[in-house]
């Protein structure tokens, strides 16, 4: 596959070896894993859970991008002075992440500075992100996702996806992530039998990301697989979160890089 991308100024092309290793076939995946499956205990149906592409850390450092992300946070209207204002804020750096103070920002290698926001009693905290940063630092953590067990009735799942206004459900078998059920699938399952579960609808993810991957690896996978988002799993196939194009854009990635070859 010839790489003919012409990224915006300041961004280098995706490393060709990394891109070529992320093809549509499991045999071209950076992870050489066998076909695997789980069994629905009620119907004995076998379900393949092997994704087409599995993204791990390639070690690539081609300076695909670096950018400034701004996080807007509320400040105490009684705070005075630059140091007191920053020290007094409490916020999370990622969806589902732990709250920390602005004081902690001063010791973070990504912290650049902060500046007043256009809204009163708010400031923008500015951080530098690069392609070498781990996906786990930017992703939305598992607790923010709609995650259900495979034996959840379809009708229950359909209700929950409406209540959460979620685009999809991430499905687990025990602790193991096995695939995705999209909202459109559930909206067409109004006539499902009472004993039908997510097992009848779940499909393996087209691609997954390892929790050891960096943001360069994520960008390469999204480009090759033409996806908007990826589930992120650990070595035991436990879901730890998701990463999407919007999060990457907010970290300073030029959106043109993700759409150049689409």
The full set of domain ranges for the chain reads 16-62+136-259, 66-130
- Write the pLDDT tens digit of every residue in 54-75: 555 544 444 557 888 999 998 8
Q: How high is the pLDDT of residue 194?
A: 74
Q: How high is the pLDDT of residue 62?
A: 46
State the fold for domain 16-62+136-259.
Answer: CBS-domain (3.10.580)
Q: How high is the pLDDT of residue 3?
A: 34
Q: How high is the pLDDT of residue 223?
A: 86
Residue numbers in the chain where pLDDT is lower than 50: 1-35, 45-50, 52, 58-62, 261-262
> Is 152 within 8 Å of 215 (Cβ atoms)?
no
Whole-model pTM? Answer: 0.73
Question: What are the CB-based long-range contacts (under 8 Å, 24+) for 27-34?
Answer: 29/53, 29/54, 30/54, 30/55, 30/56, 30/58, 31/56, 31/210
Consecutive H or E run containing 177: strand 176-182
Instruction: Give CA–CA dist 210/240, Å, rounded.
Output: 9
Helix, strand, or coil (residue 262): coil
């Amino acid at each position: 596959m010839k790489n003919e991308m012409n990224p915006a100024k300041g961004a280098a092309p995706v490393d060709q070896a990394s891109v070529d290793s992320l093809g549509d076939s499991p045999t071209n995946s950076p992870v050489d894993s066998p076909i695997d499956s789980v069994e629905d205990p009620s119907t004995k149906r076998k379900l393949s859970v092997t994704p087409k592409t599995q993204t791990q850390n390639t070690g690539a450092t081609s300076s695909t991008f670096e950018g400034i992300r701004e996080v807007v946070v509320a400040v105490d209207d009684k705070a005075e002075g630059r140091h007191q204002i920053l020290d007094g804020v409490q916020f999370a750096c990622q969806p589902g992440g732990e709250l920390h103070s602005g004081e902690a920002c001063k010791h973070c290698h990504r912290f650049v500075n902060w500046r007043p926001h256009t809204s009163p009693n708010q400031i923008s905290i500015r951080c530098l992100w690069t392609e070498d940063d781990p996906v786990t630092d930017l992703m939305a953590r598992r607790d923010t996702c709609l995650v259900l067990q495979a034996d959840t009735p379809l009708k229950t799942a359909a209700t929950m996806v409406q209540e959460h206004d979620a685009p999809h459900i991430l499905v687990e078998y025990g602790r193991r992530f096995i695939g995705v059920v999209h909202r459109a699938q559930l909206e067409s399952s109004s006539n499902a039998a009472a004993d039908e579960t997510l097992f009848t609808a779940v499909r393996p993810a087209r691609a997954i990301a390892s929790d050891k991957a960096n943001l360069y690896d994520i960008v390469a996978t999204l480009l090759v697989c033409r996806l908007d988002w990826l589930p992120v799993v650990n070595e035991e196939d436990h879901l730890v979160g998701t990463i999407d194009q919007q999060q990457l854009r907010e970290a300073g990635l030029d959106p043109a890089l993700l759409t150049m070859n689409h």
